[in-house]
Amino acid sequence: MTSRYRTRPQVHFEAFRILEQRRVEAGNAIWAILAGSRMASNTLNLTEGSTRTLAEIFPTVEHIDRFNLRSDTARELLAQAEAELCTMGMSYAIALHEDFVKTCLSWLLPLGLVTRSQVREAKTFNIHEKIETASGVSMDIDSLQLFHLTRLMRNCHIHAGGQGSRELERHGNGLTSRQVAVWESLTKEPFTPIRQGAYVAVGVGGLIATLAIGKRLSYDVNLCLQSAIPRDKWADMAAAEYFSLGAKKPSHPKALRSVRGYARGRYDALSLTDRELTDAIDRIMGQSAI
């Protein structure tokens, strides 16, 4: 990735923190499922030689009747399940990231930087480019191109039964040596463009890359928002977040001190001044007086 990655801090405003938490929870859920399948497979090694079914061995496990096979058969299936779980995990991660970016794009609506139709028409293939255009900030080109690689891999599984498309082959062939190196550093596997008609294998490496690329692009999305949203709106956001907690009212004599403390660690990337925060507090008081 370019050197700017993680060189500028993010703005951790409430809505962004919620979206980031959803992304983290999704990643944890994906790894929980993968680890769970491996744990189950290893546990069934203890039943080697048994002819009993899973429901007989584990009668208290919920839903076991839906997977009521002999332990040796179940172990084989669980061992093979990783590839399918990684493919499903990739689709889940990309869908969640698309929702994340689309939500951020919608925050630019009140500023007149995008229209409702532009937000409505934003899809996985153009969502990042739309927020780039609206904010005037370019995202990391390596991350963006590798995201499109994962998107096209996902599409092959959704629309073509896992067979590679001409578009995926062309995109893979068009990656720069730097982008290939980044992909290989994430997957820990050599990169070979997937030919049209060949099976698109995701695997653990591809899933790791998908999650990492989404995380890096979410950082760039934050930079786009920092540039696009005016400073007075950020100050209003910080003040509104603090007062929503109910600890103090805007009219409190120490309101500025409290808002400043709340913004510390959350809005440090913007270096909001006392004047800006005071004006935001005044605007909130003015609105409550109407």
Task: Compute the average pLDDT of residues 112-133.
Answer: 95
What's the pLDDT at 95?
93
Element of type H or E holding 106 = helix 71-106
Hey, is 127 helix, strand or coil? helix
44-61 pLDDT per residue, tens:
888 888 888 989 998 998
Q: What is the pLDDT of residues 224-263, one digit of tens each?
A: 999 999 999 999 999 999 999 988 999 999 999 999 999 9
What average pLDDT score do residues 88-116 get? Answer: 94
Task: Give the pLDDT score at 5.
Answer: 54
Per the DSSP assignment, residues forming a β-bridge with 199 are 163
Question: 70 pairs with which residues across the strands?
Answer: 53
Provide the pLDDT for residue 3: 46
Nearest to 33 by CA among 69, 85, 84: 85
- Report, as an integer, the average pLDDT of 175-190: 97
List CB contacts of 231: < 8 A, sequence separation 6 or more. 270, 272, 276
pLDDT bracket for residue 271 (50, 70, 90): very high
Which range is least confidently modeled, 28-37, 121-130, 176-185? 28-37
pLDDT for 80 equals 82
Q: Give pTM, 2 decimals.
A: 0.87
- Regarding predicted confidence, which is higher, 187 or 67? 187
How confident is the prediction for the chain on average, in pLDDT? Answer: 92
